[in-house]
Chain A
Amino acid sequence: MASSAAGTLGSAAAAAATAAAAAARRRRDLTGYAFLIPWIIGFLCFTLGPVSASLYLSFTRFDLLTPPQWIGLDNYVRMFTADARFWQALKVTFTYLLLEVPLKLAFALAIALLLDKGLRGASLYRSLFYIPSLLGGSVAIAVLWRRLFEGNGTLNQILLALTGWQGPAWIANPDTAIYTLVLLAVWQFGSPMIIFLAGLRQVPQDLYEAAAMDRAGPVRRFFRITLPMIAPVVFFNMVLQIIDGFKVFTPAFVISSGTGGPVDATLVYTLYLYNEAFHYFRMGYASALAWVLLLIIGSFTCVSFVTSKYWVHYDD
């Protein structure tokens, strides 16, 4: 009885304590939310609002000046059955992605491995290599790229001086234009490199010591220890790069003066979307394009996650 009373008392006290703790937690949470309010309002008004509006607009014809007209699935039907430029934009974007993502990751990893070897002045190099990532998305760099790869641009002048061979106008030639964009993207290897470096630092050194004792060479050590150990980092970088790659816009816009030319060779998906929306004022169609892009990026990310269990190992 006494013990049960004590128990009741105890549990009441415990309940009171829990209630007090819960109240404190609520208060704390509320404070947290209060601080989040500006961001939440921003998200609701400037992200969620426009995104849902664009879903509605994707089923309409809307030229900005007259109210939208409901046309059902017409925009989507047109896209998949009657729009050659939609497929061209997809082709350009996928070509870009297939080249850019693996090359950039390989390059970033290679540089990260070099820097991880404890090079003298590694931190200086690290900063230097990171600079392109900071500059990369800017208009100034895209303009610089144009100057480099023009018909009489810097690259061709160097080629002419060294080999006497007059190179093509890399940017104005439909067969080569896309590679200049890929190169520009690969050049911005800084941010995946930093992430790789962090990953490499976490690989336990005793694994390498053990491997060295077993006389495993550097190549074997890389493929058997380093790569599996940093697989989660590779995966993380890959997903980010794929999403970023789908969203590429500025360099293609600047290099082609917004046209996607020559002959639609640099017509990346977002550029096509932009032109449909803001040059030809087909807001409805452009919204439909945006939703298809969202689904494509979403499904690519899903596939990456699903397949990741076969090659990404998490230690803990």
Chain B
Amino acid sequence: MNHSRRTFVSGAGLAVVAGLIPSLPFAQNLRLRAYWWGNPDRDKRTKAMLEAYSKKSGTQIAAESLGWNDYWTKLATQTAGGNAPDLIQMDYRYLFEYARRGTLLPLDKLLPLPDFSPQEKDGGKVDGKLYGINLGSNSKSLVYDTAVLAKVGVNTIDPNWNWDDFARIGAEIIKINPGKFWASGDNSRQETGFEQWLQAQGKNLYTPEGKVGFTRDDVAAWFDLWDKYRKAGLIPAPDVAASNNGKIEENELTRGLAAMHFIHSNQIVAYQALNKSKLAIAPFPRTKGGTSGHYIKPSQMMSVSAKTKAPEEAAKIVNYMVTDPEAVKILGIERGVPCSAAARTLLLSEVDALGKMQLDYVAMMTKLAIALPPPPPKGAGEVENLLRRVGDTVAFGKLSIKDGAQQFHSEVESILARA
């Protein structure tokens, strides 16, 4: 009995060891991990691009993508566990946090990128060192359903239009299907909208020192603007808006409830993929007497983990991604307009109407753009959700505009103080 048990145990042990053996040779192959947030279209392109690279170089690349929110959760836990992916898609908002904690590799020497303009590299610099390679530029934009706007006699939107024009066009749109179809989604709860509106007046969300850059009155005026639109029936009731938590499929435009919404210009690709009617982009409406308020943002960046076993190879992949004609063609313009001039020229002959629209838009906005705002301080990620929450509270009438503005302002202050 004992004997047979021992035989069994050692037999099982051998089986386990034997099971391990075949995997050993794999461990010697160079295998890197790439990680990005995205959408189905981006995932398809990125995977195809990585496969093309693997075929050429023999480097195996494990690819993984998640939605925006879950992405940062998983990245933080993996980084904390010393298990960060080698290639990390990075956002301007988080670049500083990750770089200053020494989790990213400085890329100045590995990636000289002579083809990039200094401005396009600056967006990825922290304390003078390059940590993020710009994968494409975008700017905020208003996306609209061309058929609906044509129906109310608007064929193109004047890039200098203002909020009064927006309200005028909106009033026509809501006559099409009263109570069922609105001019735009509720933007009072979107941090990007608020930021844009502040910048059009020469203000910012945050000061260069990482303090709150706006006043309570600014918040109140912002809530007030949207409250007027809500009362005028230009935007849907709060319970429609509250179903939109930032995903493209939850957006009022995608759900066929509104003719316009506020997005980043590169997202037009993903929005068009989910919308039947033809979409187009235009600048945000201006505040009367204000500037465009738009800036050119690195839509996404690629960073390399400080712990990667193969810094050169990782840098080579990034370089391939942003400069190699093969990769540029596969990735297209889904992450925004490429920074490499050669890549842009190449894409000009390659892109479809949607890509052309983006190229033209970013070219136009480059002329109108203001400087890149100061980097968001630590904790800024929370403010996005805070505005959604307080904006909804005001929209549902559970807080007055004045109290809502007060609450938002003081909570932002305490978030920044706590971070």
A residues whose Cβ falls under 8 Å from a Cβ of B: 64-66, 150-151, 168-169, 171-174, 256-259, 261-264, 278-281
Determine whether the beta carbon of A172 is less than 8 Å from that of B80: no
Q: Label chain B's interface by main secondary structure.
A: helix
Q: Which residue numbers of B lie inside 8 Å of A, CB to CB?
A: 69, 72-73, 76-77, 79-80, 97-98, 101, 103, 238-240, 242-243, 245-247, 250, 379, 381-382, 385, 388-389, 392-393, 396, 398
Nearest chain B residue, comparing its CB with the CB of A64: B80
Whether A259 contacts B97 by the Cβ 8 Å rule is no
A151 with B243: CB separation less than 8 A: yes
| Residue in B77, B98, B388 whose beta carbon sits within 8 Å of that of A259 in the complex | B388
- Nearest CB to that of B245 among chain A residues? A257
Count A-B contacts at CB 8 Å.
75
Per the bound structure, the CA–CA distance linking A168 and B243 in Å amounts to: 12
Since A257-B250, A258-B245, A263-B242 are in contact, a sample of 11 more A-B pairs with Cβ atoms closer than 8 Å, ordered by chain A residue number, is: A64-B76, A64-B79, A151-B240, A169-B242, A173-B239, A174-B392, A257-B247, A259-B245, A278-B77, A279-B382, A279-B385
> Smallest distance from the beta carbon of A232 to chain B beta carbons, Å?
42
Q: Judge whether A65 and B393 touch: CB under 8 Å.
A: no
| Minimum C-beta distance from B37 to chain A (A) | 14
B239 A65 Cβ-Cβ under 8 A = no
B389 touches A65 (CB 8 A): no
CB pair A168 B80 closer than 8 Å: no
Question: Considering the chains assembled together, what is the distance between the CA atoms of A64 and B98 in angstroms?
Answer: 11
Q: In the complex, which residues of chain A have a beta carbon less than 8 angstroms from the beta carbon of B97?
A: 65
Alpha-carbon distance between A172 and B250 when the two chains are bound, in angstroms: 12
B392 touches A279 (CB 8 A): no
Q: Are B389 and A261 in contact (CB under 8 A)?
A: yes
With a cutoff of 8 Å between Cβ atoms, the chain B residues found around residue A173 in the complex are 239, 242, 396
Taking CB atoms, residues of chain B closer than 8 Å to A151 are 239-240, 243
Identify the closest chain A residue to B180 (Cβ).
Answer: A152
Residue in B247, B381, B398 whose beta carbon sits within 8 Å of that of A279 in the complex: B381
CB distance from A254 to the nearest CB of B (A): 11
Q: Distance in Å from the Cβ of B305 to the closest Cβ of chain A? A: 12
Q: Which 6 A-B pairs have the closest CB atoms?
A: A64-B80, A257-B245, A262-B242, A169-B239, A172-B242, A172-B239
Closest to A82 in B: B414
Find the B residue at minimum CB distance from A173.
B239
